[in-house]
Each structure stands twice: as C-alpha cells, then as structure tokens.
Structure 1
Amino acid sequence: MKSYDIPSNSVFAVAGMVGAGKSTMAHAIAERLGFQESLENVAENPYLERFYDDFERWSFHLQIFFLAERFKEQKHIFESGGGFVQDRSIYEDVGIFAKMHADKGTMEAVDFETYMSLYDAMVMTPYFPHPNALIYLEGPMQTILDRIEERGRDMELQTPRSYWEEMYRRYEQWIDSFTACPVVRLNITDYDLLANEDDIELVIEKIAKTIKKTTS
C-alpha cells in the first residue's frame, strides 16, 4: 500500500449535499489514514424530525443544536491533537443551512442574528482549528436525489424536491467562494467506495497533493 506524506495530526472535513456520501467517505479516509472519525450527531438530535415537519418552527432550534455539537467536537479535536476526519463541517451549517432559512424567511431575522453572534464567538476561540483540507463531494443533481431516495429516510423522502434543488444551488455557490481552508473537490460519479475499496487511494492521493501545495 502506497504511503503518503500526510501529517498524523491533520484534520479533514468532508462536505457536500445530503446524500452525497459524506459518512462513507469520512469512514474510508479515516480507516485508510488511521485517523479518528468525527460523525454528525443525527440519532440524538431532538429537533431533526420536527424540523422536517415544520421548517419555520424548528430551524433555529436545529441550527443551534448543530452549532453546539460541532463546537464541542472542535474542542475535542483540539485537545486530542488532531488526526480526525469530520463528517460535515461547521462552515456548511452557517453558509448553507442557517443562511438559506434566513433568506427564505423560515428563520426570523433576530434568530439568525443571534445564531451568527454565537458562531462568530465560537470560531474566534483557540478551540477552533480550521481543517487542513475540506473534502468536497459534488455530482449531478439527479444522482443526489436518487441516493436520497435509495436510503429511504422518511423525513427526507417527504421533503419537497424544491428544497433539495435550492440546497444544491446554494452548495454550488458556497464552494466557489469558500476560503477558510484548502479544498479537494471530488465528483461522486468518479469513484465507488462501496464497490471498490481501492478507489480510496485516488482520494488520498488528491488530499496529499493539496497538503503538499499548501505547505511548500
């Protein structure tokens, strides 16, 4: 197995649309590099199901929950000395989800202002290490929708297609202006980690090249 010059204290965040395969990718990268996984806390989220039933009522609660969870995880990563792969990033919570609800009126302006104040206070602390690279998963809209349908989560299946299309457009705009850390863009149609485990080597090689560029 080929070795790559990737520091053992690196932190990578996997980003992308719902259904893009972030959890699968995060697990594969962590396993290949011997890193720890930082997974999104969905099962213990008390607001997620209610949010899908009523965006306007629960959007602020949901985003505050995610913000708190991600900050706690950032603190844990900092104290552990790195060597982590994160499933989703705190940047998406702000740049995609919270902003989308504020723009569409499903989060009140005063709530969004409170949310952003908390976000700014958290990100400016020494407990917030920016990732060494953001692994961004992208691909055709229909492929994303097919994957959402295949995994069969009721609350996602009941969500209008227009919501996913809006999110997809926002992700495209967001990643083009993202500057918090280096980005490794991966098209989900170019690999299949479930069918071919060796595809992870292509991913790791791209990550290593990105790291080398930023440190040279």
Structure 2
Amino acid sequence: MQHIAIAGNIGSGKSTLTRMLAKHYGWEARFEAVEQNPYLDDYYKDIHRWSFNLEVFFLKERFRDLIDIHNADHTIVQDRTIYEGVYVFMENNKAMGNLSDRDYETYMELFEQMMEVVTLPDLMIYLRASVPHLVGNIQKRGRDYEQQMQLDYLENLNKRYDDFIFNKYKGPVVVVDKDELDFEHNPKDFAKIIDSIDQRLFGLFTN
C-alpha cells in the first residue's frame, strides 16, 4: 500500500490528475469533500466570520481520510492533503486577519495531536501554476462560489504553496510546472508525469 498525494492551488488540475493517475495505475482515487462542506458558501460571502468553521471541517475530513488511507490494503491517490489545509489555507487566513489568535492556537493544537498518529505520503506531486492559468481553469469549470475570489487571494495562496513545498514539507515531492503542460489532452505531457512518478516510486528510468 502506498499513499500518493496531489497538491496544488485552486484550479491547478488536482482532481483531473488524481482521476487520470487512478485510471493509469489502478489506484483508488480519494477526493476532498469540497462540495459537502456546509460552510463553503458562507465562507466566500464572509471569510472573516466563517474561516475557523470552514478550516476545522476540512481538518476533520482530511484526518479521517488519513486514517482510512493508513488502514487501506491498496494504493490510494489523494486530491489535496491535510498539510496544505494547515500550511497554506489556514496560514493564509491567519495572515489576512480572518482568524483570532485563540482560534488559530486551538486549530494548531488539534492538528499537532493528529500528526502523532499519521505518516507522510510516500510521494507528493505538486502542480505549480501561475495565477492567470488558475483563473482560466476556475472560469472554465464555473463554480459559482469560486467566481468571487480575488486575484491577490490566489497569489497569496501560490506564495504559501511554494513556501510549504520548498521550505516546510519533509516528504518526497515531484514538482510539475502546470503552465507548460496539458496532461489532460496531451498524452506526451501525461507520460512525462508518469515517468517522474515511476522514477520516484519504483526506481524506473526511461530513455
């Protein structure tokens, strides 16, 4: 059993790549419960009021996923991880003044306790994309609550993603520059990602 995680900003193509990898390798795909989060619509209408509620719900769901993945007897590829929820989205909300120190400390203590019983993914794949690329994808998929997002919000998340991946995360990572690839429609681009994964997971090298 292995745990493969797909990391990346909103609109970077995580769900698409998760589905494609699951099909290619015969892995189970595990998606985050975005649409099922009962705070999501309220959050985008009033981020300051609903940040703590939204983040705690996601933390709870992602921790449950980690327990399920740990207990699984087969490989699972996961769309977004608990680590991004903490080091990217939660930290961004804190920096924007959307969380009190009290709420932040409570959340972080809960997260740290969770980390005592889980392990890092065997491989994290980071889909790195520019803000214009993200905006284009967000507009294409047309989720109403996402259309209200500001460009500086996406830019702040991008900076925190880079900081998380390159400075804080301790596990193995493959970085995919999404602006340069169209892995959904170009088989050669998808093959490049497969080659990188095979090298890291199985020690396989291609010419």
TM tier relative to shorter chain: over 0.9
- Deviation at residue 175 of structure 1 after TM alignment: 1.7
Aligned twin of 2:140: 150
> 2:17 & 2:168 partners in 1: Cα distance?
20
| 1:136–1:186 contact (8 Å) kept in structure 2 | yes
Establish whether residue 72 from structure 1 lines up as the match of residue 64 from structure 2: yes
1:66 is aligned with what amino acid? F
Percent of aligned pairs sharing the same letter: 35
Given that 2:17 and 2:184 are in contact with CA atoms closer than 8 Å, whether structure 1 keeps it comes out as no
Q: What number of residue pairs does the alignment pair up?
A: 203
State the one-letter code of the partner of 1:11. H
Compute the TM-score of the two structures, normalised by the length of structure 2.
Answer: 0.92
Which of the numbers 80, 91, 110 marks the counterpart of 1:88?
Answer: 80
Tell me if structure 2 keeps the 8 A contact 1:11–1:84. yes
Is residue 179 of structure 1 aligned with residue 169 of structure 2?
Answer: yes
Question: Hey, what's the Cα distance between the residues in 2 that align with 1:179 and 1:65?
Answer: 23
Per-residue deviation, 1:212: 4.8
Q: For 2:119 and 2:166, how far apart are their aligned partners in 1?
A: 22
Q: Do structure 1's residue 97 and structure 2's residue 94 form an aligned pair? A: no
Equivalent position amino acid for 1:42 in 2: V
Tell me the distance in 1 between the aligned counterparts of 2:162 and 2:31.
Answer: 23
Structure 2 stretches lacking a partner, 5+ long: none
Structure 1 residue 10 displacement after superposition: 1.4
> In structure 2, what residue type is equivalent to 1:193?
F
CA contact (8 A) 1:29 1:200 kept: no
Higher alpha-carbon deviation: 168-177 or 196-205: 196-205
Q: Runs in 1 of length 4+ with deviation above 3 angstroms?
A: none
Identify the residue that residue 5 of structure 1 maps to in structure 2: none
Q: In the alignment, residue 116 of structure 1 is paired with which amino acid?
A: M
What letter corresponds to residue 39 of structure 1 in structure 2? Answer: F
Q: Is the 8 A contact 2:131 2:151 kept in 1?
A: no
How much does 1:178 deviate?
A: 3.4
CA displacement, residues 51-86 of structure 1 (integer Å, 9 cap, x when unaligned)? 001111110001100111011111111111340000
Distance 2:83 2:74 in 1: 18
1:47: how far off? 0.5
Higher deviation after alignment, 112-121 or 100-109: 100-109
What is the Cα deviation at residue 41 of structure 1? 0.5
Distance 2:158 2:121 in 1: 23
SS at match of 2:50: helix
- Equivalent residue number for residue 133 of structure 1: 123
CA distance in 1, matches of 2:116, 2:35: 29
Q: What SS does structure 2 have at the residue aligned with 1:189?
A: helix
Two-structure CA RMSD over aligned residues (Å): 1.5
Match among 159, 169, 191 for residue 169 of structure 1: 159
Aligned residue number for residue 3 of structure 1? none
Q: How many Å separate the matches in 1 of 2:190 and 2:119?
A: 25
Matched to 1:161, the amino acid is L
Q: Which amino acid aligns with 2:6?
A: V
- Which stretches in structure 1 are left out of the alignment for 5+ residues? 1-8
1:17 alignment counterpart: 9
Shift of the 28–198 alpha-carbon distance from structure 1 to 2, 3 Å rule, reads: farther
The equivalent position to 1:106 in structure 2, one of 92, 98, 101, is: 98
Note if contact 1:24-1:193 (Cα within 8 Å) is conserved in structure 2. Answer: no
Structure 1 distance, partners of 2:162, 2:131, is 11
